[in-house]
Structure 1
Amino acid sequence: MEKIIDLSDGEYARVYDYQLELLRSNPGSTIAVTLNPEILESNVFGRMYMCLDGCKKGFLAGCRRVVGLDGCFLKGAFKGQLLCAIGRDANNQMYPIAWAIVEVESYDSWYWFIGFLQKDLQINNNGEGWVFIFDQQKGLIRAVNELVPQAEHRMCARHIYANWRKEHRDKVFQKMFWACAKSSDRSQFNYNRAKLAQKTIEGAKDMMKTTPEYWCRAYFRIGSFCDSVENNMCESFNNAIMRSRFYPVLTAMEIIRKKVTVRI
């Protein structure tokens, strides 16, 4: 850890140099750096957002309007969180769109991140025709509802199941829950839920605490052309960039940028 801290000496003083170099080498990209507004006597790093022009153009040209949002902790000596927006490419695999390092995951940081994303992806009409998949994270639901209220909002069924499983641990219930989540129409959903109710009436009631419009395939809007009920793309991205999460801002951003460039 001491070596990592020594290597990072001066990184935070060069974020603007890094920003200018990225804009020079990747014209059309969106690279935003903000300072901590609570400390006025000196310049203290606050947040950094990155959306490369190639990622932006590629997503708009060849991907469906489905975006997964997620956040993860930075694990090194430099605390903070990394937010990401991930799409799906033509092979139904993850397509990184944008990512940012922020001080903490909150309504304010998500509002800031989605605001940039909305502009980069040219999301108009309050998100009409778009799909956003996310977990029940702090402030994220509120930020999405305010910025893109007309978009279809989905919640990761895997996280809903994890919360539901705390009260209903029997493994028999697991397949029955996922049968409900992946039902292709409402009559099938009602049938699968009735089968679950035969085993556990309380479980069938608790499952409805989160409206099925958010996590059941049968209730998704027609026209999105995506039947995904989970947010595994973002989880895979967070795992793929694990090494970068131990480093300070510039090293972390550069590791992610290289991985994305090589992948594309």
Structure 2
Amino acid sequence: MIVGECMLEAWEWLLGLLKADLGIERPDAFTFVSDKQKGLIPAFELVFPGVENRFCERHLHENFKKAGFRGLAFTFALWNAAKATTLPEYEFRMKEMGLLDESTVEWFNDKPPSQWSWSHFQTFPKRNMLLNNLCESFNSSILEARENPILTVLEWIKEYLMTRLTENRDKAKKKWCEKQICLKIRKIIEKNMEKSADCIPLKSYEES
């Protein structure tokens, strides 16, 4: 109990600093994606009442497998339910999952779909992210610095970002040359241009 209270206080302190630093006045306009660490959700309710909390789909999937629901069939069933965009589709996908194993429905009893399925997300904050890959990628990039004192960590991150931005800028100069758009988008445009060769233009109105 004491450990749980300490975790809650720690998260409440951190989120309070985040709220003040970002000047957040309307929590309902924000969405937080997490792996539901101990004390985190109650801290959100204290510091950001009304904020939308989501559970990272990758962590949900890992817990799903640990509960015994392994294999591609369960994986596809979970992601189909997560990507359902309407309530009828969500209910249909959950029924499909239940046909694989009835106990899956019970497993989701304490996991509100508002935290992991598009079909139940709030419509005011326009964010449909199911994963927190950006955070996970950043955390893996700073493993070398994470055990250091906070000021050393911040200095390391500053140098890391400066170096990365410079490297990406140099790469972009080489790839783009004198082009006005980046390489990936240029490939998409060129592919669409190739497809357009099979199209026949038909006039639908008189020019004024």
TM-score (norm 1): 0.56
Q: How does 1:225-244 map to 2 (within 5 A)?
A: 225-244=126-145
Amino acid at match of 1:107: L
Task: Calculate percent identity across the aligned residue pairs.
Answer: 29
Tell me what 2:112 maps to. Answer: 211
What are the equivalent positions in structure 2 for 1:180-191 lying under 5 Å apart?
180-191=81-92
> What does 1:131-170 correspond to in 2, within 5 Å?
131-166=31-66, 167-170=68-71
Aligned length: 159
| Higher RCO (CA < 8 A, seq sep 6+) | 1
Letter in 1 for 2:129: S
Determine the C-alpha separation between the residues in 2 that align with 1:260 and 1:214.
32
Identify unmatched segments of 5+ residues in structure 1.
1-104
Please give the alpha-carbon distance, in whole angstroms, between the structure 2 residues aligned to 1:161 and 1:136: 14
Task: Please point out which of 195, 201, 208 is paired with 2:102.
Answer: 201
Q: Is the 8 A contact 1:130 1:152 kept in 2?
A: yes
Structure 2 regions of 5+ residues with no counterpart? 1-5, 166-208
| Counterpart-to-counterpart distance in 1, 2:30 and 2:152 | 33
How far apart are the structure 2 equivalents of 1:262 and 1:165? Answer: 39
Of 13, 16, 31, 1:112 maps to 13
User: Take 2:71 and 2:34, find their aligned partners in 1: how far apart are those partners?
Assistant: 26
Mapped partners of 1:263, 1:223: distance in 2 = 34
Q: Kindly provide the amino acid, as one letter, of the partner of residue 223 in structure 1.
A: F
1:167-214 Cα distance to aligned partner (Å, 9 max, x none): 212332111111111111111111111111111111133133311111
Contact 2:81-2:117 within 8 A present in 1 as well: yes
Q: What letter corresponds to residue 65 of structure 2 in structure 1?
A: R
Higher helix share: 2
Higher strand share: 1
Aligned to 1:254: 155
Structure 1 letter corresponding to 2:12: Y
| One-letter amino acid matched to 1:142 | P
Q: CA distance change for structure 1 residues 180 and 121 in 2, over 3 Å: closer, same or farther?
A: same
| CA shift for structure 1 position 118 | 0.4
**Greater gyration radius:** 2
